[in-house]
Chain A
Amino acid sequence: MIGSILRKDLQLLWPMVLLVTLIQACLQWTWYKFGFFGEDLAARELLHPLTVAWFAGVIGLTAVVVQQDAVPALDQDWLIRPLQRSHLLIAKLVFVALTICVPMFLLDVARALATGFPLGPALAEVAFKETLVIAWLLVPVLALATLTASAAELLLLGAVLVGVYAVGLSAAALLWGGDSCPTCNTGVVWLQRLLQHLGVLLGAYTILALQYYRRRTQLARAVAVLGAVLLVFLQLPWSAAFALQSWLSPEPGAAARVSFTFAPQDQPAADAATPANPARMGVGRAARALLAGDLNRAAQYLQNRALGNAPDVALQLPVRIAGVPADERLLVDQAQLTLWNTQARKLYSSSNAGPLDLSPVASGEPAVQRLLIPVAFYRSFGASPLRLRLDYSLTLVRLQAQQRMPALARRFQAPSLGRCALNLDPEALSMSLRCKKLGAAPFCLSATLYGTQGRHNPEVLNCDPDYRPDLPSLTYGTSFYGLELPVHDRSGMIHYPVEGSELGEAYLLIRVYAVREHFTRALDTPIKLEEWRAPS
């Protein structure tokens, strides 16, 4: 019976299947033509609209095939036919797999081969990606489509769910500020996303079961709305997320010798620069931050505005860090600040203490921990003896691989980097490195341009912590990453030892870092805040 339903749906929907396949083919072709630097202007222009069209087509086709035998309607032909409901559901899933995933799989593999990746790894990676597309996108869309009988109803339901989600986000941001999403904008956010995807998948299966086996549309719609609310409010606490990430560390105990101590004798030099203060920014900034996907910052703006918060006071604390080997690096995932009075009563706590500047560590100096304290609190307790505790969540990364390439090499490949290309901009102001890789992209890499006689430009470090295992994007199977290296400053303010004219003999040293261990350290010290105020 599955075959008959499938054949009927294909007879009904083949024009749409053809259209979606065409969109998929165009998208893959555009990705291919985009190359490493968007050399093809048409491909650059078409990439975004085609990606949107791909989403619309894939979602539309999935919804339409379900609605051919709509579940909530009362006059559908399938209701009076002797069909096993499981057969109907399987037929819909098979249709989606055959008409969306199989062409996508073939096109993805073809593009990976055209890019130069070997067949075996390309097959494995693309198959994994298609599995994620089914589980994270198509099954949830299929479930939502069972709640409606027409495209208009589906659009309305989608709008309701997006509305519920947006209201939930706003409420969470106003109530809890940056704490409404403890893992956002950190390397462990993938755990939260994974939890959300699993929750969505569980919700989708619940809806499918309710609809196909019980036809409980109202209850299933309530499950969908509840799911949208839970997506906002069910957040993984930072401590749990980082503990889980630590447990996944590839080399447990590697950071055992790393120590943090407060170094009051090494008071840092005055620094006039004070970071932009979120409290001074309004709703416009919050909206811009939201559009940029920075939920924490947007939430902070909104909360500060709602509470009428005054500007913060910046402090600078010297922190001596020891036990980090020379070719390894330390990444600060989070620094939580807590202040107590002498009676051990907690007075203040913040999950985002401020940035830790590690650059002095290389020259044997202590690192500088900047703290942002609300001015009202500072006025009340600045002169009081307090106890300060900084809880650091840290990651130790080691040099995993390094690759030396002539600076003017146009294309090269390396196992740790994938297939890469270098490009010098027409004015010889900067070099771009772009790489495509099967599987996860390295989240921390650096590049240094070396000239003759050992001269070199400052190392460019691109460390954007992302500790997820290989979880590819839904729209393409390969990772795409890179960095920019300035080689000339037109204003003449900065002089680079190796400039564009010397690139013929220069080479590029690319270093890739990999995680050794995620771990925590704490600093606990008596303090008087006014003694550590950074000059403004």
Chain B
Amino acid sequence: MIIETQDLSKSYGRVEALKGLSLAVPEGSIFALLGANGAGKTTIIKTLLNIIEPTRGRALLLGVDSRAIGPEVLAQIGYVSESQVLPGRLRVAQFLDYVRACYPRWDRAAEDELRRGLQLPAERRIGALSHGMRLKLALACALPFRPRLLILDEPFSGLDALVRDEVIEGFLRHAGETSILISSHELDEVERLATHVGVVDDGRLLFQGPLAELRERARPLLASAPPGAPRASLRDIFVAMARKARGVRPRAEGPRP
């Protein structure tokens, strides 16, 4: 497993953001962490990266306890987040120069290719970039060192369809053998990518496993679907699971077309 958590819990005062979560992400998988806003996805990722410390339990990242991860481990992890703060006064090229120096295995040719592919303007200040461009820049910083693990935290949030496609294409083309953990509530995009899925709701893990297994597992929840209806989408499965977890009766109308 490239990521493993055991009984991972995090509290902010009386609020429990994570409630004894045990997660296992197989190496080589594209693992989608699904959950509504506030379900705890970002808390999981920040705990994995030792940005916040768990209240209880532990997380292993590339076999190393998250509390002890240092530069050697971080040098193998690419990270893209919608909320990542980038230095707005720097130009794109200056920021890439800075990031490049952090990674001993940086591939300059891959960087150039990404920069061209993602159409990043080298002389533009980061503060003048659009949201989508900033995400592309973050991606251009996360891939050229060929990370073993790529963590994407809500990478599609606020992007229009065209830019989403460019971003997805960008990391699919360059990710190679990289394991990917992607957290999102944009289920349609995730469905195109994920091999494995973890469903989080209210700090608890409702399901984890291959996408096919999730569909199998979710069938009883979607039993009311009329015969001949199209296959249930990930969105429908997620909604049904979340409703069940919250004790809400399943909807009778079945999957959306």
**B residues in contact with A82, CB < 8 Å:** 70-75, 102-103
Known: A8-B98, A82-B71, A84-B71. A77 touches B86 (CB 8 A): yes
Contact indicator B84/A77 (Cβ below 8 Å): yes
**Can you list, as one digit per residue, whether each of A195-216 has a CB less than 8 Å from chain B (1) or not (0)?**
0000000000000000000000
Contact indicator B102/A74 (Cβ below 8 Å): no
Looking at the assembled complex, report how far the CB atom of A66 sits from the nearest CB atom of chain B, in whole angstroms.
14
Tell me if A39 is interfacial: C-beta within 8 Å of chain B: no
Looking at the assembled complex, report how far the CB atom of B45 sits from the nearest CB atom of chain A, in whole angstroms.
10
**A residues in contact with B117, CB < 8 Å:** none
A residues engaging B (CB < 8 A)? 1, 3-5, 7-8, 11-12, 68, 73-77, 79-84
Q: Which single member of B49, B95, B103 contacts A79 (CB below 8 Å)? A: B49
**A residues in contact with B87, CB < 8 Å:** 8, 12, 68, 77
Contact indicator A75/B101 (Cβ below 8 Å): no
**B residues in contact with A3, CB < 8 Å:** 101
Contact indicator B85/A77 (Cβ below 8 Å): yes
In whole angstroms, how far apart are the Cα atoms of A82 and B50 in the complex?
Answer: 12
In whole angstroms, how far apart are the Cα atoms of A80 and B84 in the complex?
Answer: 10
Q: Beyond A11-B89, A75-B83, A79-B51, list 13 extra A-B contacts (CB 8 Å).
A: A3-B101, A4-B101, A74-B51, A75-B81, A75-B85, A77-B86, A80-B49, A80-B51, A80-B74, A80-B77, A82-B73, A82-B75, A82-B102
Contact indicator B102/A83 (Cβ below 8 Å): yes
**Can you list, as one digit per residue, whether each of B8-45 has a CB less than 8 Å from chain A (1) or not (0)?**
00000000000000000000000000000000000000
Contact indicator A74/B52 (Cβ below 8 Å): yes
8 nearest CB pairs, A to B: A82-B71, A4-B101, A82-B75, A82-B74, A80-B79, A8-B98, A81-B102, A75-B85
Looking at the assembled complex, report how far the CB atom of B18 sits from the nearest CB atom of chain A, in whole angstroms.
15
Closest to B42 in A: A74
**B residues in contact with A77, CB < 8 Å:** 84-87
Tell me if B94 is interfacial: C-beta within 8 Å of chain A: yes
In whole angstroms, how far apart are the Cα atoms of A405 and B94 in the complex?
Answer: 63
In whole angstroms, how far apart are the Cα atoms of A77 and B97 in the complex?
Answer: 14
In whole angstroms, how far apart are the Cα atoms of A68 and B87 in the complex?
Answer: 8
The 23 listed contacts between A and B (C-beta, < 8 Å) are A3-B101, A7-B97, A7-B98, A8-B87, A11-B89, A12-B87, A74-B51, A75-B81, A76-B85, A77-B84, A77-B87, A79-B49, A80-B49, A80-B79, A80-B84, A81-B99, A81-B102, A82-B71, A82-B72, A82-B73, A83-B74, A83-B102, A84-B70
**Can you list, as one digit per residue, whether each of B61-96 has a CB less than 8 Å from chain A (1) or not (0)?**
000000000111111010101011111011000110
Chain B interface residue number, banded:
20 to 34
Looking at the assembled complex, report how far the CB atom of A504 sits from the nearest CB atom of chain B, in whole angstroms.
65
Tell me if B116 is interfacial: C-beta within 8 Å of chain A: no
In whole angstroms, how far apart are the Cα atoms of A82 and B87 in the complex?
Answer: 17
Looking at the assembled complex, report how far the CB atom of A88 sits from the nearest CB atom of chain B, in whole angstroms.
11
**A residues in contact with B79, CB < 8 Å:** 80
Contact indicator B84/A75 (Cβ below 8 Å): yes
Tell me if B46 is interfacial: C-beta within 8 Å of chain A: yes
Task: Report which residue of A74, A75, A80 has the largest number of chain B beta carbons within 10 angstroms of its beta carbon.
Answer: A80
**A residues in contact with B81, CB < 8 Å:** 75
Looking at the assembled complex, report how far the CB atom of B51 sits from the nearest CB atom of chain A, in whole angstroms.
5
In whole angstroms, how far apart are the Cα atoms of A66 and B89 in the complex?
Answer: 16
**A residues in contact with B103, CB < 8 Å:** 82
Closest to B72 in A: A82
In whole angstroms, how far apart are the Cα atoms of A451 and B101 in the complex?
Answer: 75
Contact indicator B72/A11 (Cβ below 8 Å): no
**B residues in contact with A84, CB < 8 Å:** 70-71
In whole angstroms, how far apart are the Cα atoms of A379 and B127 in the complex?
Answer: 78
**A residues in contact with B46, CB < 8 Å:** 74
**A residues in contact with B71, CB < 8 Å:** 82-84
Looking at the assembled complex, report how far the CB atom of B89 sits from the nearest CB atom of chain A, in whole angstroms.
5
Closest to B71 in A: A82
In whole angstroms, how far apart are the Cα atoms of A3 and B100 in the complex?
Answer: 12
Looking at the assembled complex, report how far the CB atom of B129 sits from the nearest CB atom of chain A, in whole angstroms.
14
Interface residues in B100-117 (C-beta closer than 8 Å to A): 101-103
**A residues in contact with B75, CB < 8 Å:** 82
Looking at the assembled complex, report how far the CB atom of B55 sits from the nearest CB atom of chain A, in whole angstroms.
14
In whole angstroms, how far apart are the Cα atoms of A81 and B83 in the complex?
Answer: 15
Closest to A2 in B: B101
Looking at the assembled complex, report how far the CB atom of A210 sits from the nearest CB atom of chain B, in whole angstroms.
13
In whole angstroms, how far apart are the Cα atoms of A5 and B102 in the complex?
Answer: 9
Known: A82-B75, A84-B71. A8 touches B90 (CB 8 A): yes
**A residues in contact with B85, CB < 8 Å:** 73, 75-77
Task: Report which residue of B52, B85, B89, B99 has the largest number of chain A beta carbons within 10 angstroms of its beta carbon.
Answer: B85
**A residues in contact with B89, CB < 8 Å:** 11-12
In whole angstroms, how far apart are the Cα atoms of A76 and B87 in the complex?
Answer: 9
Looking at the assembled complex, report how far the CB atom of A409 sits from the nearest CB atom of chain B, in whole angstroms.
56
Closest to A4 in B: B101
**B residues in contact with A11, CB < 8 Å:** 89-90, 94
Closest to A14 in B: B89
Contact indicator B84/A12 (Cβ below 8 Å): no
In whole angstroms, how far apart are the Cα atoms of A83 and B72 in the complex?
Answer: 9
**B residues in contact with A74, CB < 8 Å:** 46, 51-52
**B residues in contact with A68, CB < 8 Å:** 87
Known: A12-B87, A75-B84, A83-B71. A4 touches B102 (CB 8 A): yes
**A residues in contact with B101, CB < 8 Å:** 1, 3-4
Interface residues in B140-189 (C-beta closer than 8 Å to A): none
In whole angstroms, how far apart are the Cα atoms of A75 and B84 in the complex?
Answer: 5
Contact indicator A1/B102 (Cβ below 8 Å): yes
**B residues in contact with A1, CB < 8 Å:** 101-102
Looking at the assembled complex, report how far the CB atom of A77 sits from the nearest CB atom of chain B, in whole angstroms.
6
Closest to A76 in B: B85
Looking at the assembled complex, report how far the CB atom of A462 sits from the nearest CB atom of chain B, in whole angstroms.
53
